[in-house]
A and B are shown apart, each in its own frame.
Chain A
């Protein structure tokens, strides 16, 4: 992040105060974003990826964030996932203000509060399915016996208990994504954050993965799916449409 600096200008701050959503964060919400700005410095030019985004997510919600490429939805996902901090604004996740955390604090939040599911699975190629799932527990400092048990259980929950010792290249795309989901769930995070989870899968497998998300939602998990596919978004119970760095539409569909 060395070449990107945050530089909110004065005009933005004034603009921000006019924002209707700049009230105090909702202490009951799992996610509470207030007037989030993200500004990148591209050479001499400032590029605003987000122009004061505010929304709340409650526990147990199933949300899709949609928008065309360049809309700022990737930036928003990075912020929700605590991979990055906003240039301006407040982000409360599970009662903690993460908007002003440093690198290592963010790492800890990612470890304990966020479960990532990526488009390209992002599994460690040389590690077995079990080891991949154990990884968050390793960085969370869980002892090895308990780690094995928890990781096995997570793999069982995605119906992969018979693929424990397989490496990613010995698994199908759908199986890989299920390993990734098990990894995301193993630490019992507050949110499951999926970025185009079916982007690398065929239609049939996509359906299976989306069914799995539905099941996980039914069991009480909070799920946020970032996608540009309307079919995938339609599965969610609430859709946030992002355009030009702003929330264009926030609608409950179910």
Chain B
């Protein structure tokens, strides 16, 4: 930038002592913007410090918004992880054959399914005999009962009648202390059982597992002898997976009747063989239900992998997640409005200052940047605090519910990033209003 024709060379201005000349070139360097930017930061931090209460309240708006979003996202991620882990414990090598699918979507389906024939022990035996791709085949039926020992009782215990003992392997549970029943015991209808570790706690006051073996418990009034204790599996969503009693299927039939539909579990050695085994089992079951390939109407049985449930889980919850995150995001929008409001107040209050700065040579861009930086500083700090409190909130909630906390850097960066964008958006209009103030009128303000 030239600096006024011939006058450049002449010494002008005050000249007490040594005069420092200002080379014209200095002023056009990119450094120029840098100096103004530094001033903007200085002014922003000064103004935020000068109005501590106001800054705190503004921060609060952003903190609440960001921490809500962070907490929700973190909890959702933890939930997903837990669900995925839980269902993969049985793994993608297991599928089931049952009368009704695990999820019934409508009344019409319910009516259709209730017309189906029960899945019986004979079906399981046929599968076991005819399916060459199948590795392990077992049957299981569930009931829920109150279990008692002496004066202690445990409610809501899952009673699982299984046959043969390979069902323990298919279920992914293993014996901690004691033993599983023998084949002879299993088919004889003996009142013997293997209990989950929760019952140790509830019925035996947390006594060591070997103390429980050989003891008697009462399930639905019938006495059972404990022959083994399972290793703990942990809980999901606060529901323990260890609150279970395994009994032989023959014994289960004695108590609950023979004519109840059961679930056939089929396991293949590797996930690659799953599809082949499913095809074989489907053919076998169609034959047994008197149907041919491609026939219209109901198949007469349900063949499912655990993926079915997982897929349904994710499709059902993804919409809930979007809504939940949306609701949390609204508080961020409210936070943004708070920032805009405060910035408008700040601009009005500092009209005189803006006038002084403009008179001295601040350009529109300088004023705009100054107020934008102020807005973004508040929201970025608010965002950072929000990320921390959000994770804290998620930590507390996940500790209460009992699933892992997944702290991701991505969501932290996202939290600060989004809040900064909120700052820019909500600061833009007030900053623009400040930038286009007329210096003469602004100077007149008090």
Q: Which A positions have Cβ atoms within 8 angstroms of B?
A: 1-2, 30, 59, 78, 81, 83-84, 94-96, 103-104, 107-108, 110-113, 116, 118, 122-124, 126, 135-144, 146-147, 149-150, 153-154, 156-157, 183, 185, 187-190, 216, 219-222
Contacts and interface: CB of A to CB of B under 8 A. Distances in A.
Contacts of B28: 141
Given A107-B358, A110-B358, 10 more contacts: A83-B440, A94-B4, A94-B5, A107-B362, A111-B361, A126-B50, A135-B360, A142-B27, A143-B31, A185-B14
B7 A94 contact: yes
B26 interface: yes
B35 interface: yes
Interface string B162-187: 00000000000000000000000000
Interface string B28-42: 110111111011000
A140 B361 contact: yes
A122 B356 contact: yes
A190 B361 CA distance: 14
A141 B32 contact: yes
A2 to B, nearest CB: 8
Nearest to A184: B360
A120 to B, nearest CB: 9
A157 B438 contact: no
29 contacts: A30-B7, A81-B359, A83-B439, A83-B440, A83-B443, A84-B440, A95-B5, A104-B365, A107-B362, A111-B361, A112-B3, A113-B4, A135-B360, A138-B35, A138-B36, A139-B35, A139-B357, A139-B360, A139-B361, A140-B22, A140-B27, A141-B31, A141-B32, A147-B35, A183-B360, A216-B14, A220-B14, A221-B13, A222-B12
B26 A141 contact: yes
B26 A142 contact: yes
A32 B155 CA distance: 100
A14 B193 CA distance: 115
B46 interface: yes
Given A94-B4, A149-B20, A220-B12, A122 B364 contact: no
Nearest to A2: B438
A219 to B, nearest CB: 5
Interface of B: 1, 3-7, 10-18, 20, 22, 26-29, 31-36, 38-39, 46, 50, 352-353, 355-366, 438-441, 443
Contacts of B5: 94-95
Nearest to B361: A111
Nearest to B40: A138
B438 A190 contact: no
Given A59-B7, A141-B31, A141-B36, A188 B12 contact: yes
A48 to B, nearest CB: 17
Contacts of A156: 16-17
Given A95-B4, A104-B365, A185-B13, A153 B359 contact: no
Contact of B16 (A59, A140, A146, A157): A157
Contacts of B363: 103-104, 107-108, 139
Contacts of A103: 363-364
A140 B32 contact: yes
Nearest to B446: A120
A110 B15 contact: no
A190 B46 contact: no
Contact of B20 (A123, A143, A146): A146
Nearest to A189: B13
Given A95-B7, A124-B353, A219-B15, A142 B22 contact: yes
B32 A104 contact: no
Most-contacted residue by chain A among B15, B33, B356 (CB, 10 A): B356
A138 B357 CA distance: 10
Contact of B22 (A126, A187, A219, A220): A187
B14 A135 contact: no
Nearest to A121: B356
A94 B15 CA distance: 20
A248 to B, nearest CB: 24
A221 B66 CA distance: 57
Most-contacted residue by chain B among A2, A107, A183 (CB, 10 A): A107
A220 B7 CA distance: 13
B347 to A, nearest CB: 15
B328 to A, nearest CB: 37
Nearest to A193: B359
A107 B361 contact: yes
